[in-house]
Structure 1
Amino acid sequence: MKFSANLGFLWADRPLPEAIRAAKAAGFDAVECHWPYQESLPDIKAALDETQLPLLGLNTRRGDATKGEMGLSALPDRQGEARDAIDEALDWGAALGACNVHVMAGFAEGEEAEACFLENLRYAARQAASKDMTILIEPLNVYDAPGYFLSTTAQAAEIINQLNLPNVKLMFDCYHVQLSEGDICNRLSRLMRLIGHIQFAGVPARGRPDQGEINYDYIFSHIASLGYSTPLGAEYKPMGHTEDTLGWLVRRQ
């Protein structure tokens, strides 16, 4: 089993190039990030080249973070901004060799929001295809992100199946799924053909994966049995120095 460090949370106190080097030193096989746009793209690229760590993905911009926004692509009155964010993320991803872009939906509901999200995902998929990249959508749990447009794997699967585009996939975050739906292993089995990336964290605190109610040794074995071999994304809040939380990784090396 291989693992990716999500640098939105791990080593978040360091500039992204330094965090990439720290992930390499810790033994991670890949990295991913949230929003790298305030940092130096050439410096990030240099760190990726130096460490030879693949960048699995990044997110489209949230929108106005000071207002708590969590994406724009399901907001009918923000389509121009949403597409600018998609283009930006794909440009950065292509320059950094990233595999995926997570298109964030935002806080919205109803048929108009769904139609807007579908239209923006079609646009994103077309743009991503020319860069050999995949678009990801991710359900967020109802406790951390109440009102987020996408909240369940069933809803995400319906959207992906309706689009029927080969480069639109599900980001399956075990933390979010456990809080909103549970039944992680059966859902992984049913949805594997739609999954483009898997993430994990301890539940309920979103801390390190060897603490909390989930037996990740069992889940990781189940994922391996399904033939999934892409690095799994460690997207948890260290609650201290990241290095002090990596016992779970050391035991698997």
Structure 2
Amino acid sequence: MPAFAANLTMLYTEMKFPDRFSAAAKDGFRGVEFLFPYDYPADEIALRLKDNGLRQALFNAPPGDWSGGERGIASLPGREDEFRRSIDLALTYAERLGNRRLHVMAGLCPDEAEKEARLALYTRNIAAAAAQARSMGVTIVLEAINTRDMPGYLVSRQEETAAVCRNIGADNVRIQFDFYHAQIMQGDLTRRLERLLPLTGHVQIAGVPERHEPDSGEIAYDSLYDLLDRSGYEGWVGCEYHPRATASEGLGWMAPWESRIAVRP
């Protein structure tokens, strides 16, 4: 049965980041994810996880100059050495935190004419990252991000990330299937998930269109949760949404699925 993990980048934002771990644990979560851990020593985060009985479900590899607008460097020509070093750093954190899923962002490609070459570079870099990660038991996950929230992102459709996974052919390269992004770009979530579940290594949820709690809007989440259960998916489901008020106040949507919070894959 899939288990919900609190995304500490988006949830509990009224608190400082180190305090969000205990807040998530008090609300019953047993897993957490977030974008980037690199502003904090790995040992400090590891202690927060241990003290609060939490598992690290996922985080992202360094994305380049995030504040300057970069959204990953895996497809950027001339950045191969920097990319390799970024994976080295991410795997150091992964080992310390007991993390087994690493999201590697592709980067922006505003010129459609460059897309084919960028996809080829992205594929080569991801293959190299997967080889680095294999001995540590870490799976690289790839996410298609919608063009409304992130214009120019290299991969915006689930089948694009699936194609990269298949072209690499490594068992530790998988899709990060984010229902929010997939609904905005494509819809038909049930059939698409059925087709791509064998390649899916992580799942994320949010309401559409506002990206609030997954309790209203366009997506019938109860049906998708049931599909995940029937499929035998045993990974985490990341709660990557912006609460309407505070995270704790908005967790009523989870009541029917409360037993899933405590499941620890």
Question: Aligning the two structures, in what range does the TM-score lie when normalised by the shorter sequence?
Answer: over 0.9
For residue 183 of structure 2, what is the aligned residue in structure 1? Answer: 178
Could you tell me whether the CA contact under 8 Å between 2:75 and 2:121 is conserved in 1? Answer: yes
| Structure 2 counterpart SS, 1:68 | coil
Could you tell me whether the CA contact under 8 Å between 1:16 and 1:39 is conserved in 2? Answer: no
For residue 82 of structure 1, what is the aligned residue in structure 2? Answer: 83
For residue 240 of structure 1, what is the aligned residue in structure 2? Answer: 245
After TM superposition, list the pairs within 5 Å mapping 1:196-211 onto structure 2.
Answer: 196-211=201-216
Could you tell me whether the CA contact under 8 Å between 1:124 and 1:135 is conserved in 2? Answer: yes
The 1-side partners of 2:213 and 2:193 are apart by 21
**AA at the equivalent of 1:248:** W
Q: How many residues align?
A: 253
**AA at the equivalent of 1:63:** G
Could you tell me whether the CA contact under 8 Å between 1:29 and 1:231 is conserved in 2? Answer: no
For residue 133 of structure 1, what is the aligned residue in structure 2? Answer: 138
Unaligned runs of 5+ in 2: 259-265
Unaligned runs of 5+ in 1: none
Matched, 1:67 2:68: yes
* Aligned-pair CA distance for 1:93: 1.0
The 2-side partners of 1:49 and 1:38 are apart by 19
| Structure 2 counterpart SS, 1:55 | strand
For residue 261 of structure 2, what is the aligned residue in structure 1? Answer: none
Could you tell me whether the CA contact under 8 Å between 1:203 and 1:214 is conserved in 2? Answer: yes
User: Greater CA deviation, 41-50 or 161-170?
Assistant: 41-50
The 2-side partners of 1:106 and 1:84 are apart by 16
* Aligned-pair CA distance for 1:207: 0.6
**AA at the equivalent of 2:23:** A
For residue 160 of structure 1, what is the aligned residue in structure 2? Answer: 165
Ranked by relative contact order (alpha carbons within 8 Å, sequence separation 6 or more), the top structure is 2
The 2-side partners of 1:211 and 1:85 are apart by 38
For residue 50 of structure 2, what is the aligned residue in structure 1? Answer: 49
* Aligned-pair CA distance for 1:111: 2.4
| Structure 2 counterpart SS, 1:46 | helix
The 2-side partners of 1:27 and 1:3 are apart by 10
Percent identity, aligned pairs only? Answer: 38
* Aligned-pair CA distance for 1:231: 2.5
The 2-side partners of 1:110 and 1:203 are apart by 28
The 1-side partners of 2:65 and 2:245 are apart by 28
For residue 32 of structure 1, what is the aligned residue in structure 2? Answer: 33
- Aligned-residue Cα RMSD (Å) equals 1.4
Could you tell me whether the CA contact under 8 Å between 1:170 and 1:196 is conserved in 2? Answer: yes
For residue 188 of structure 1, what is the aligned residue in structure 2? Answer: 193
Could you tell me whether the CA contact under 8 Å between 1:100 and 1:134 is conserved in 2? Answer: yes
The 1-side partners of 2:18 and 2:211 are apart by 24
1:177-208 CA distance string (max 9 Å, x none) = 00001011111110011000000000001111
The 2-side partners of 1:84 and 1:16 are apart by 25
1:148-177 CA distance string (max 9 Å, x none) = 011111111111111000100000000000
| Structure 2 counterpart SS, 1:252 | helix
